[in-house]
Each structure stands twice: as C-alpha cells, then as structure tokens.
Amino acid sequence: MPLTKAQKTKIIEELKDKINRQKAIAFGDISGVKVADLTKLRHAMRNEGGEVKVAKKTLITRVLREHNIDANLKKMDGEIALGIGYQDEIAPFRTFYGFAKTNENLKLLGGIIGKEIFDREKALTLAQLPSRQELLAKMVGSISSPLSGMVNVLHGNLRNLIYALSAIQKVKS
C-alpha cells in the first residue's frame, strides 16, 4: 500500500532529525531478512548506541541531499536499512557486519561518516576494525609495558640482594 503524503512527510522529518544527530550511517540490504531477525538487529544496534531505520530509497536520498551528501541509493540493490550510529563512528558498520555473519540475507552495502561516502569494500574494512575500547586497552598496555618491565628489573636487584644477605646470614650461623 503506497504511503500518503503525510506519512512521507513524517518519515522525512524523522530521518532529518536522525541524520542531524548521527556520527555515521551504514547502508544494509535487508531483502529477505525476517522480522524477528530485524528486531534482533535493532536491539544489537541500540546496545551499541545507535538505531536501525528502514525507509524508501527516494526518501533517504532526499534527506541526504538536504544535508549536502550526494549518495545515490538507486544504484544499491534491495531494501535499504540505515544503521545510524550516534556515539561511535564504527559501531553501525561493525554491528551490520557481525549480524551479516549469522544472517546471509543482510548485506553491508556502504556507508557515510561525516560527509564522506564509503563503498562496500571500505565499509567492510571499517567493520573489521577493533572497537575503540580495544584500541584504548592496547594503547594503555603499550604505554605501561616498559614501566612494568623496569619495575621487574628493579625488584630483581632487590631480590638478589636479599638472597645474598640471607646466604651470608646462613654461613655465619
């Protein structure tokens, strides 16, 4: 059943609001994805600080053009779902990619970060990056590694001194 003009206007206003607040948008083809699976995807995206929005390509394209983003969604196959990330730029790509591993009907098609449009290959590369928390943990580990090594070396000298003193004490006894 076709959408009425009022319904389309409401969808456009919702999309404008979401795109104003977004840090990144991932495009996914959801043709053949069951409603239960789409609900799981929505929950996964919500847990990552984002949301999934399904709309017609023409409406999405119209809103993106108003934000000076020239994405031609007509070239993309299937039904388009937007994975909108509000907190982390990589989260929508990672969530779509992880969900696509268990559901072969979902395909990551591309995305947008800022005003830059990514094709499928770049979107897949972004999706496979470690999370921000993982990168921060690795950086902290790299910074603290030399310090912990130095502490071990200094403790080693103290230990050897204690062993030598206890050996001398045993000889005297």
Residue tagged 């104003």 (tokens): 20
Q: Which residue has the higher pLDDT, 47 or 169?
A: 47
Please report the beta strands in 23-153, taking only residues with DSSP state E, as ranges in sequence order. 24-29, 50-54, 80-85, 107-113, 116-118
pLDDT at 143: 83
Q: Which residue has the higher pLDDT, 147 or 48?
A: 48
Q: How far is CA 34 from CA 45, 50, 61, 79, 104, in A?
A: 16, 20, 25, 13, 11
pLDDT at 41: 92
Give CA–CA dist 41/49, Å, rounded: 13
Residue 161's φ and ψ, nearest 5 degrees, are: -65, -45
Q: What angle do CA 26, 29, 32 make, to 5 degrees?
A: 145
The fraction of the chain above a pLDDT of 70, given in percent, is 99
pLDDT digit string (tens) for 76-102?
Answer: 888 899 999 998 888 899 999 999 998
pLDDT digit string (tens) for 114-152?
Answer: 888 888 899 888 888 887 788 888 888 888 777 777 777
Structure tokens at 6: 């009022």
